[in-house]
Amino acid sequence: MKHIITLTVLLFTCLLGFSQEEDDKAKQKAIKSSNNYTWEGNKNLDQNKFAEAEADYRKAISKNGENSNASYNLGNAYYTNETYSEAFGRFKQAGEKATSKPEKHKAYHNMGNVFMKRKEYEKAVEAYKQALRNNPTDEETRYNLALAKELLKKQQEEDEKNQDKNQDDKNQDQKDKEDKKEDNKDQDKENQDQKDQKDKGDEGDQKDQKDKEDNKEGDGDKKKEEEKQPKDKKGDKPQEQPQPRPNQLSKQQIQNLLEAMQNEEKKVQDKIDAKKVKGVKVKNEKDW
């Protein structure tokens, strides 16, 4: 019984070892195939055959997901083709799969370059810092970091200026709204004053019209009253012959009386003249 158990264990160990060996062989085969596709991709990329290079790199990654070189090189292909979003994804993948510091350094350095193209300077600064942690001696990365910091500073100043301008514009808009509101209130008040003045004028016109109508009605009543009474003014009433006052001679009577007096006076004068003629002596002169 003991021998049977021992044989079973040995058999299981052999099978397990054989399976592990097969897995190792398959893995090595996949790695080799992935490396071959990576090499083909590099060759096509050098010949500016982007589509063929992209296909080779994708096959290389599918054969071996740990192939950071294939991801990094595919990222470079996208970067050269200015497909920066795809490039960043492949650089990020390469940085995560890389097992050595030089590989990580290259991946983060190029991630920083993508951020610079996007003008995401704050992220570029962090990517270059991460690259320098893996290779502090790289002068190109150090230069890119300094440039990213300078551009970040200018961007922040510009953002602050724009923020102040936006705030000023917002304050100005608020002031304009308040001024417009005040103008509308003043206009409404002016319109109301004009309306009140017009209403008052209309009331005055109505009162004047009523007064005119009342005066007209009063004139009518007065005219009726005057028509009832005798008229005594020239042009309004017929003239009446003046009547002699009691114990007063009329004009004709006075005229007759004057003529009679003149006649009597004449008669008296004639008598006087007649007596003067009789009493005058006639002087006879001798005719010598």
Tokens of 279: 């009493």
Region 134-156 average pLDDT: 96
| Residue 131 and residue 112 in contact, taking contact as beta carbons nearer than 8 Å | yes
Strand partners, 237: 234
The percentage of the chain sitting over the pLDDT mark of 70, rounded to a whole number, equals 70
For 45-68, write each residue's pLDDT tens digit. 999 999 999 999 999 999 999 999
pTM: 0.54
pLDDT of residue 131: 97
Going by C-beta distance under 8 Å and a sequence separation of 6 or more, which residues neighbour residue 185?
none
Has residue 174 got a pLDDT over 60? yes
Please report the pLDDT score of residue 2 as a whole number: 55
Query: At residue 221, does pLDDT exceed 90?
Result: no
Alpha-carbon dihedral 93, 99, 100, 106, rounded to 10 degrees: 0
Q: Give pLDDT tens digits for 10-34.
A: 556 655 555 667 778 888 999 999 9
The least confident of 124-128, 196-200, 279-283 is 279-283
Angle between helices 68-80 and 84-97 (to 10 degrees): 160
Per-residue pLDDT, 132: 97
- pLDDT attached to residue 219: 60
